[in-house]
Structure 1
Amino acid sequence: MKRLCRAVRAHTGLACLALLAVLMLSVVLGISLGPVTIPFPEVWRVMLHRLLTPLGLGDWISLEGIRDSTQNIVWHLRAPRVLLGMLVGAALTLSGVGMQAFTRNPLAEPYVLGISSGASLGAVLAMLVGVWLPMGRLSVPAGAFVGALVSILLVYGLSRSGGAVTPVRLILVGVAVSAMFQAFTNYLVYTAPDDAAVREATFWMLGGLGSAKWEDLPLLALILPPLFLVLMALARPLNAMLMGDSSAVTLGVDLDRVRG
């Protein structure tokens, strides 16, 4: 394992290219495999044709011999799901790296700080109570984002003592806030009068990409690059924080500034 880590550090560019190739292969496999198996060449032809058509180059890729039903499965059904899954995975990776460094805990995850519970409460409010309804399709994501933001701000505010935030206090407060938000969510679902809305909320909390549409991709695709750049800029301070607060301060890291 140590040899592998040294090889990755020594050849970071090649490792990134290899992982990118694996990612592209995974996307093609995800679109190709399913109840209806679609050959790889047909997947590539449909995807390239659809992507090049807005540029006026779609005629370069012929779809002759590919049925309309196959094209619809590739472009309208599977491609949005696979690509949204890819973007969500990238977002979870970035948030996980930041959270583990922030809490100095390799097992840190969104439920520890109450983020997932806050997002669930916000989404359930949007679906059952109709909050943020004027935003249309973005109502549920907006509700989840606001709920997660309120949760993390509450956790950060309650865990701050003496002008500083310690990882232990942050985790303890996060667990308490998570339990409180989860209780509110369960109460809303239990007392909701609309059975269809309850099923929708339950399905959302279970998670899934079955309802993914192309309209769901642009917002997440626009948010990820700035977040990646921010984390790259904070890479050195975060690495120092993983060794402990005292070590990070010795290396010149302003903990309050980074955590704030």
Structure 2
Amino acid sequence: MEPGTEPDDEPDDDLGHAARRRSTVLWVGGLSAGLLVTLVLAVGLGAVAISPATVARIIGHHLAGWPAGVTWTAPQDSIVWKVRLPRVILGALVGAGLAVCGVALQAMVRNLLADPYLLGVTSGASTGAAAAILFGLGAGFGEHALPVSAFLGALCASAAVFVVARAGGRITSLRLLMAGVAVGYALYAATSFLIFAADSAEGARSVLFWLLGSLGLARWSWPLAIVVAVVCLTVAALMLWGRRLDALAIGDETAHTLGVPPTRFRVHLLLVVSLCVGAIVAASGGIGFIGLVIPHVARRFVGAAHGRVIPVAALIGAIFLVWADVAARTVLQPRELPIGIITALVGAPFLLILVRRFHASST
């Protein structure tokens, strides 16, 4: 059994279950309120600062027609509604999606250092995006050529991982891990080759910025709607599969005993996670460390049971990435940092702490 995948140490009596449920409800309620406050504050922050009260009035006016009287300027309305709100919403969705996919992957491969980069999906999306930026792939999709090409690249990478992992028979944790690493490295090499072959400094800078992640493509359009649908369905599916994830995280033999076929369930998880990560990376680029760090934070708060970890991880991931994006677009105003730099600055020290913890527990 991998460290940290054990069932909760709390007693399994009715009182213990009730206490854990109350704790989870409190965390979910508090984090939900925190997310709402975060959304309002983050929309108001930027090169042009807008007060939270004005932000709330503008959003309420567009959503519910209240207040009816307009007390703000047209530029403020445009900044809040057309530019920042879709970006903040996308950031919350991306953070939530990457966090829950990290939870699922860590259970699927029984490795607490697993994250969405593991399956090569991010590398596939990066290759598709590089082809779109440098060579005009998907030009028929107009302004949506970049996200469409990235999503197609992610799907191709997922299919390749599935084929390679399935080649030796049933899909196991080790085969998924090795297949993801192999496909990821191959696609990383393909992306590097595309950048070299294009011989375009401006194109290379655009690809690099996208590879490090950005929410700058957020608009009120169908790519955002797709991310909303995919992330919500992924969170719902993983919550329904909470007990199956618990069984799979303990081991294949335990899963069999509890009536969970490991190979079939891993295929289902692979499909769900690949579609979710593909949609996210297509909309925001490659943002690292969210799927690695946030699951561990959530487990610290509510224990190891996936039915509790998933909603808490989704909310923490959403809040964290929204604030990371605020930092990315305000630290070097008027220039914007790739958001992946911010998440790496926070995630790398956490990873070092995690490695030291594992080393201490093994000695």
| TM-score when normalising by structure 1 | 0.87
Does 1:219 pair with 2:231?
no
List per-residue Cα deviations over 1:199-237 (Å, max 9, x = no partner). 322221121113422224212112223222322232221
Shift in Å at residue 59 of structure 1? 5.8
Q: Note the 1:145-224 alignment, pairs <5 A.
A: 145-160=151-166, 162-215=168-221, 216-224=223-231
Q: 1:17 to 1:81 in 2, by over 3 A?
A: same
Shift in Å at residue 183 of structure 1? 0.6
Is contact 2:129–2:149 with CA below 8 Å preserved after alignment? Answer: yes
Q: Any gaps of 5 or more consecutive residues in structure 1?
A: 53-57
Q: How far apart, CA to CA, are the structure 1 residues paired with 2:66 and 2:58? A: 12
Q: How far apart, CA to CA, are the structure 2 residues paired with 1:158 and 1:94? A: 25
Q: 1:20 to 1:113 in 2, by over 3 A?
A: same
Does 1:79 pair with 2:91?
no
Q: How far apart, CA to CA, are the structure 1 residues paired with 2:220 and 2:155? A: 25
Q: Given residue 51 of structure 1, which amino acid in structure 2 is its aligned partner?
A: L
Q: How far apart, CA to CA, are the structure 2 residues paired with 1:199 and 1:22? A: 36
Is contact 1:31–1:74 with CA below 8 Å preserved after alignment? Answer: yes
Shift in Å at residue 254 of structure 1? 0.8
Q: How far apart, CA to CA, are the structure 1 residues paired with 2:180 and 2:196? A: 24
Q: How far apart, CA to CA, are the structure 1 residues paired with 2:237 and 2:46? A: 37
Moved more, 81-90 or 201-210: 201-210
Q: Which runs of 4+ in 1 moved over 6 A?
A: none
Q: How far apart, CA to CA, are the structure 1 residues paired with 2:156 and 2:254? A: 31
Q: Given residue 180 of structure 2, which amino acid in structure 1 is its aligned partner?
A: G
Is contact 1:133–1:139 with CA below 8 Å preserved after alignment? Answer: yes
Q: 1:162 to 1:190 in 2, by over 3 A?
A: closer
Q: 1:60 to 1:67 in 2, by over 3 A?
A: closer
Q: Given residue 20 of structure 1, which amino acid in structure 2 is its aligned partner?
A: S
Which residue is 2:280 aligned to? none
1:236 to 223, 229, 243: 243
Which residue is 1:55 aligned to? none
Shift in Å at residue 162 of structure 1? 4.7
List per-residue Cα deviations over 1:59-103 (Å, max 9, x = no partner). 643222x22222222222221211110111121123222211211
2:48 to 9, 12, 36: 36
| TM-score when normalising by structure 2 | 0.64
Q: Given residue 166 of structure 1, which amino acid in structure 2 is its aligned partner?
A: T
Q: Any gaps of 5 or more consecutive residues in structure 2?
A: 1-7, 11-16, 268-363
- Ranked by relative contact order (alpha carbons within 8 Å, sequence separation 6 or more), the top structure is 2
Q: How far apart, CA to CA, are the structure 2 residues paired with 1:258 and 1:69? A: 50
Is contact 1:101–1:242 with CA below 8 Å preserved after alignment? Answer: yes
Does 1:130 pair with 2:142?
no
User: What do you get for the CA RMSD once the two structures are aligned?
Assistant: 2.3
Q: Note the 1:108-127 alignment, pairs <5 A.
A: 108-127=114-133
Total equivalences in the alignment:
253
Between structure 1 and structure 2, the one with the greater Rg is 1
Q: How far apart, CA to CA, are the structure 1 residues paired with 2:183 and 2:111? A: 18
Q: How far apart, CA to CA, are the structure 2 residues paired with 1:24 and 1:61? A: 22
Is contact 2:44–2:50 with CA below 8 Å preserved after alignment? Answer: yes
